A and B are shown apart, each in its own frame.
Chain A
Amino acid sequence: MKKLTALFLMIMLACAFAPTYQAQTDDLILYMQPSGTASIDVYNTSEGIGNQASWYFPDGLGDTNSTAADHYTLENDGDVNVDVSVNATNTTDWTLNTTADHNKFHVETDNPDVNLDWTFQSFVTDLAVDGTEPFGLTLSMPTTSSTNNLQTSTITFEATAV
């Protein structure tokens, strides 16, 4: 009986000094962002993807001419949706302008319509992977020119992952 009493006392003491365990949580947040590749291709629609798009304007000073509205195609060949913006450069002797004038030419995209400037402007937004955007170009040549040399302007499309 004394042994039994002693055992009970030990159990009670053990309970009295039992270590306490507090429930504790820590959050581990895992950030995962897809390493998407923003990639586009611009090509002459009739020639298909992979061809370098170009334009040799057929007319002279004072003329305005347009390609077909689907002459070019912009395609999202990356693996992420993209926003695409566009700009153009001056030529060696002519300045990009809102209207044609002496030594000033005007270029705009057709469908969608964007009057091109040196700064990038939105051309198409949220273009899905494998999505395409047909478009054309319209050019107004300078009314007069200080030179008869060939001129070249570079139209640049820039894609940024959405």
Chain B
Amino acid sequence: MLGVSIEVNKDMKKLIAIIILGMMVSAFPLAVEADDQQIINATFNPAATVAIVCNQTTWTPSCALGGTEATDTAWGNLSNTGNVNVIVNVSATNTENWLLGSAPAHNVTAFNMTGFAAINLATSSQTWCAELEAPNNGGQAWEHFGLNVDMPTTSSTGENQHTALTFTAEVL
């Protein structure tokens, strides 16, 4: 009768042991250390203070009809004194008897800003500074400006005329 003998030597035993160990490890898998995250959403409202200051309050040019007068281009200074960057717009009013225009004419005066931004003033608001930085941020929180007026060529009145120049700051 033929017999088959299988010799299980020491190396073979080790291999079998490793296989069995592997099976056992599979039965008790190594834990994946699951991380868990939780969050707090913190919401902040800057409640910013918008404030600007112009260092000039009055300009009184003395100029004849058809003439021109101008300040120095750094005559005025507008500063951001709030705590947020702002956009600054500017507008002016017509005088009692004259209109603001792009060029002088009869009862029409051309009122311009010079210096930092050259603007022909109108009753509608125009952007003078797209972003005036808040103070203490390392940037410049002010800009200089000048004024220039071209008197009407002719006028229906000899009375003094007044216009109000208005800067308006808004949060960006």
Chain A residues with Cβ under 8 A from B40's Cβ?
42, 53-55, 72, 137, 154-155, 157
Contact with B along A40-75 (1 / 0, CB 8 A): 111000000000111111011110000000001010
CB distance from A15 to the nearest CB of B (A): 24
Q: Does B37 belong to the interface (CB within 8 Å)?
A: yes
Determine the distance from Cα of A30 to Cα of B14 in the docked complex, in whole angstroms.
Answer: 15
Q: Does B59 belong to the interface (CB within 8 Å)?
A: no
Contact (Cβ within 8 A) A145 B41: no
Range class of the A interface residue count: 35 or more
Contact of B36 among A32, A78, A145 (CB under 8 A): A78
Contact (Cβ within 8 A) A144 B42: no
Q: Does A28 belong to the interface (CB within 8 Å)?
A: yes
Contact with B along A99-117 (1 / 0, CB 8 A): 0011101010000000000
CB distance from B168 to the nearest CB of A (A): 15
Chain B residues with Cβ under 8 A from A26's Cβ?
13-14, 17
Which residues in B have some Cβ–Cβ distance to A below 8 Å? 10, 13-14, 17, 20-21, 24-25, 28-50, 83-85, 131, 133-138, 171-172
Q: List 8 A-B contacts (CB under 8 A).
A: A24-B10, A28-B20, A37-B36, A42-B40, A94-B44, A144-B136, A157-B38, A159-B37
Which residues in A have some Cβ–Cβ distance to B below 8 Å? 24, 26-42, 52-57, 59-62, 72, 74, 78, 82, 88, 91, 94, 101-103, 105, 107, 137, 139, 141-161
